[in-house]
Amino acid sequence: MKLTGRTILITGGSAGIGLAFALKFLELGNTVIVTGRRQTVLNEVKAKYPKLHTIQGDVADSAQIATLAARVKAEYPKLDVLMNNAGIMLHKNLKAAAADLNGLMAEVNINVGGVIRMNSAFIDILVANKGTVINVSSALAFVPLPSAPIYCATKAAVHSYTQSLRFQLEETGVEVIELMPPGVETDLTAGLAEGGSVALMTTDELIKKSFAALKAGKLEIRPGQSNQLAFLRRLAPDFINKQLWKASKKLVPAE
């Protein structure tokens, strides 16, 4: 991937992995726009990093995506990178009936629905500018962490969808990249135990490894433990599945 002189939109770029990518892209001489649901957080980010552009938006809301797409296409006609990063992870107890069946779909609406809707809303400008799509899935697309069953299913879905997207866009000149991070220290993993199968890497380390892979032209980026999980799910799927269940059992909420 060409890493300079691009105009880049990162969903969920106000914190964690998205913000770390935004700052690295900024440092490399790109124009970077970040989104998030909370305007207060975007204001704080803007105050701290005035060169970042911020726009509020929820990727689970089709109307907000349409508004965002219209605004970005008008204000940033050179947009040529879309990084679908916004995501949430929830630990769920599948033995208990959910009090709110709609709420049960939050991860599906954001993690998968958001990616699919954003790509559709921006495909015309990405094709016109021969751009790049970066979909952020997870190492958990390969092997589930059973305490977060819906989250892992959404990441497996993004992995599958991204492969199809890459084939379909083959002749358009749009490059399709998938970033599959392992456990990374962010707000999303605040509840995850350190050590064992769910050891966490820092965002700095993720950036170092990911940008080396992007520079090398890799289309499926599996930093650190992500690569090991990809290997183990072929070599010893029962073993690695059980390891992750052991590591996450205590994270299943009581109800």
Ligand X SMILES: NC(=O)c1ccc[n+]([C@@H]2O[C@H](COP(=O)([O-])OP(=O)(O)OC[C@H]3O[C@@H](n4cnc5c(N)ncnc54)[C@H](OP(=O)(O)O)[C@@H]3O)[C@@H](O)[C@H]2O)c1
Q: Which residues are catalytic?
A: 151
Burial pattern 158-188, b for ≥16 Cβ within 10 A else e, equals bbebbeebbeebeeeebbbbbbbbbbbbbeb
Judge contact between 12 and 74, C-beta under 8 A: no
Nearest distance from C-beta of residue 156 to ligand X, angstroms:
12
x/- binding map, residues 95-134, to ligand X, per CB under 6 A? ---------------x------------------------
Q: Does residue 58 bind ligand X (CB under 6 A)?
A: yes
Site for ligand X in 185-214 (CB under 6 A): 186-189
> Residue 120: helix, strand or coil by DSSP?
helix
Q: Does residue 14 bind ligand X (CB under 6 A)?
A: yes
Query: Which of the stretches 12-20, 124-132, 232-240, 242-250 binds ligand X when contact is defined by CB under 6 A?
Result: 12-20
Query: By C-beta, is 192 or 252 nearer to ligand X?
Result: 192
CA angle 115, 103, 191 (to 5 degrees): 80
CA angle 81, 208, 48 (to 5 degrees): 70
From 26, 37, 76, 199, residue interacting with ligand X (rule: CB under 6 A): 37
From 15, 33, 123, 169, residue interacting with ligand X (rule: CB under 6 A): 15
Q: Does residue 87 bind ligand X (CB under 6 A)?
A: yes
Query: By C-beta, is 1 or 128 nearer to ligand X?
Result: 1
Residue 72, CA atoms < 13 Å, CB-side half-sphere? 33
Query: By C-beta, is 58 or 175 nearer to ligand X?
Result: 58
Among 36, 21, 132, smallest CA distance to 86 is for 36
Q: Does residue 246 bind ligand X (CB under 6 A)?
A: no
Query: By C-beta, is 5 or 120 nearer to ligand X?
Result: 120
Nearest distance from C-beta of residue 171 to ligand X, angstroms:
28
Among 26, 1, 113, 208, smallest CA distance to 10 is for 26
Query: By C-beta, is 14 or 30 nearer to ligand X?
Result: 14
Torsion sign, CA atoms 13, 14, 19, 22? positive
Q: Does residue 41 bind ligand X (CB under 6 A)?
A: yes
Residue type, 136: V
What is the DSSP secondary structure assignment for residue 111, as one 8-state letter? I
Judge contact between 215 and 3, C-beta under 8 A: yes
Nearest distance from C-beta of residue 96 to ligand X, angstroms:
24
Q: Binding residues for ligand X, per CB under 6 A?
A: 11-12, 14-18, 35-38, 41, 58-60, 85-89, 110, 136, 138, 181, 183-184, 186-189
